[in-house]
Chain A
Amino acid sequence: MNIGVLMRAVPDPVEELELSADGTDLDRDFLGYVLNEFDDHALEEALLLKEETGGSLTVMAFGTADEVTQMLYTAVAKGADIAVRLGEGLEPLDARAQAGLLAEAVQAGSFDVVLGGVQAADELGGQVTVLAAAMLGWPHVSVVVGVQPNSAGLRVVKEYWGGIMAEFSVTPPVMLGVQAARQPPRYVAVARIREAQQSGALREEPVAAPAPSPAVRVTALRLPEAGEGAEMIAGDESAAAERIAELIRGSR
C-alpha cells in the first residue's frame, strides 16, 4: 500500500501567543513551532498500517524551516521511507492554500491512502485533509481513531461523541483525518534521527504558488482577558489550597 502522511508545523500550544503590530496575525518572529499533535498521531497510524500491509510511506510537509526539516527527519527515523518538503520558505498559508498544495503533491504521488491530523489549531478555513480530498474528488473520513486493512481495502473507525463510534469499509484511494492513533505516538532516539539525516530520504518538491482562496479576511485577533469571568484567588499555594478547600466544602 502506498501511504502518504501530511505533517504541519504549528505554534507550540504550551507557549504564550503574542499578536503582530497590526493585530491581524500572531507575532511570528519569536514563535516556537512544533509538529501538530494530530499529525503525529496520523504518522503513528500510518506506521502501524505500513507494518501491517507493507508498501511505502511518504511524509510531506510545507516549507523549509528548520522545524519542518527536523520533523521530517524524525518521521524517517521512525520508519517513513521518503520525506518531501513542499515549496520553499512558504509564508504561513491558509487551510485552502495548504489543501491545494497537498492535493497537487498527492496527485503526483499515486497514493492509496493519505493520512493527516484531523485538525490544526489555525485551520480557520476548514480541515486541510477534507478540503484536499474534495479538490481531488476523493472520499474522506475524519476524526479517525483506527485504520486496518480488510477485504474492501480499509476498515476505518470514526469517533462521534459520548464515546460512540462508527465503522466504515473504504475502498482506496481515500484521505483520512486522524484524531488518535491506536497507540500513542512512538518515541525515537536522537541517534536514529542523526542517521536519518544521512539517509538521503529527504527531497524537495517544487510546487506552484497556491491559487487564491475565496475571500475570508481576518480583521482583528484578540487575546482573551486573563481570568475573564473567574474570581482569581490571590496568594501562594498554601493560601490557594485553603481557599479551594473552603470552596469545595461550601459547595455541599
Chain B
Amino acid sequence: MSGNVLVLTEHLQGAFTDGTYEALALARRLADSLGGEVEAALAGPGSLAPALGGADTVLVVDEPVLEFFNPQAHPRVFSALVAEREPAVVLVPYTSMGMEVASEVSVRCDLPLVSYCTGVSADGGLSATCRLYAGKIEADVDVPGQRGVFALLSGSAPAAEGRSGGRGEVAKVPAPDLSDLQVRFERLIEPTAGDVDITAQEVLVVVGRGIESRENIAQAEALASALGGAVACSRPIVDQGWLPKTRQVGKSGLTVKPRVYLALGVSGAPEHIEGMRGASVIIAVNKDPKAPIFGVANYGWVGDLFDLIPELTDRC
C-alpha cells in the first residue's frame, strides 16, 4: 500500500467535470497529510491528459471503447488500476458516472466505500463527513482500515485548486480485457429546448414536493408572472410528470444563477442545491424548520406556502 491518493476522473464531450477537479483539489490535501502523491486515472482519450495538471501522475488507459463512458468498461478499468496501484485513498465524484464506478470498485477491490461525502480527512486515520437522508442528516464516519473509496458530493473542495499544482506526468497503462462487454454505448442524446429557458431568467419561483399537486402549480405560475419570472422545480415534480424536464434545477437538471431564487416547498436535497447555489438572493419557504434549504438560503420563512403565495402575489 502507498500513501497515494487516486482520483478516478470523468469526462464528457472532451472535458473533465468540475467534480473531477474538486476531487483533485481534495486529493492534494489528503496526499499532503499522508506523505503521498496525487494520481489521476483517465479511462479515455490520452489527448485529454494535459488537462489533469493537478495530479502528479496521470495514468492513461486509452482504448476506443473508453471514448464515451461505459458503465461496464470504465469500472472494470478503474478496478484494475486500484488493484495495481494500491492507493490509500480513492476519490470519485458522486455523479451519474461516479456512482457506478465507486460501488463496483469497492466490491472488486474489497475496499470500504463511503458515499455522499462532503469532506474527507486523513489526519489521525481516515474519516469523512457525509450528508444523508436528502441532506437532512450529517454523519461523521470513520474508516478504521487505513484504505477506502470516497464518493464526493459537489462542493467538497474548490475546483480551481484542482486544475494545477501537480507534476502532470503521463503514464500509459494497458487496459484489462474488454472484449466481452455486454453494454455497448450507442449515442449521446442532447437536451431538447424547452418552452422556457430557466437558465436565462432573472427571477425563478421554484416549486418542490411541498406544492402537493399538479393543480397547485398554477398558483406558482401566477406569482412568477407577477414577478416577471418563470416557474422551475425540483426533481420529484418532474418525476411525477407535473412539469417538463426542462424546468428542473439540480444535478440531473439545469444549473441556474438567477437574481432571485424563491424556493417554495423545496426541501433542499444536495442534488438540488448543486444546481442553484450560485443564485444571488435565495429566499426559502418551507413548513419544516429543519429543511436543508435553509442552510443555503439567504432568507427563510417557516410556514405554509399556500398562505403566503396569494399575499405575495398581491404585493408584486
Chain A contact residues, CB within 8 Å of chain B: 11, 13-14, 16-17, 26, 37, 41, 95-96, 99, 118-119, 121-127, 130-131, 133-135, 139-143, 152, 155, 157-172, 174, 177, 179-180, 183-184, 213-233, 236-238, 240-245, 247-248, 251-252
Contacts and interface: CB of A to CB of B under 8 A. Distances in A.
A248 B316 contact: yes
A1 B14 CA distance: 37
A24 to B, nearest CB: 9
B136 A180 contact: no
Contact of B283 (A17, A119, A242, A244): A244
Given A127-B100, A157-B189, A159-B252, A230 B298 contact: yes
B141 A124 contact: yes
13 contacts: A124-B130, A126-B106, A140-B71, A142-B96, A163-B191, A214-B111, A215-B144, A221-B139, A225-B295, A227-B302, A230-B296, A236-B303, A247-B281
B111 A241 contact: no
Contacts of A122: 132-133
Contacts of B127: 219
Contact of A237 (B209, B246, B307): B307
A131 B108 CA distance: 9
A163 B103 contact: no
B276 to A, nearest CB: 14
Given A126-B106, A158-B96, A231-B300, A16 B295 contact: no
Interface string B247-264: 000011111000110100
Given A126-B115, A216-B141, A237-B307, A251 B260 contact: yes
Q: Which of A152, A177, A237, A245 has the largest number of chain B CB atoms within 10 A?
A: A237
A174 B183 contact: yes
Contacts of A248: 203, 227, 260, 262, 281, 283, 316
A179 B259 contact: no
Interface string B173-216: 00000000111111111110000000000010000010000000
Interface stretch (B50-58, B83-91, B155-163, B286-294): B286-294
A132 B281 CA distance: 43
B80 interface: no
Nearest to A228: B295
Nearest to A163: B191
B311 A221 contact: no
A174 B71 CA distance: 11
Contact of B252 (A139, A161, A213, A231): A161
Given A130-B103, A221-B137, A238 B311 contact: yes
Given A17-B136, A251-B260, A215 B143 contact: yes
Q: Which of A123, A163, A215, A232 has the largest number of chain B CB atoms within 10 A?
A: A163
Nearest to B229: A248
B68 interface: yes
Contact of B143 (A152, A184, A216): A216
Contacts of A180: 238-239
B16 interface: no
A125 B300 CA distance: 33
A226 B294 contact: yes
Nearest to B108: A134
Given A158-B71, A161-B95, A121 B133 contact: yes
Contacts of A225: 295
B289 A226 contact: yes
Given A37-B239, A163-B254, A226-B290, 10 more contacts: A124-B132, A125-B115, A127-B99, A131-B103, A131-B104, A160-B252, A168-B70, A227-B302, A228-B294, A244-B299
A222 B138 contact: yes
Contacts of B96: 142-143, 158-161
A123 B290 contact: no
A60 B284 CA distance: 39
A244 B312 contact: yes
Nearest to B96: A143
Q: Which of B104, B130, B151, B297 has the largest number of chain A CB atoms within 10 A?
A: B104
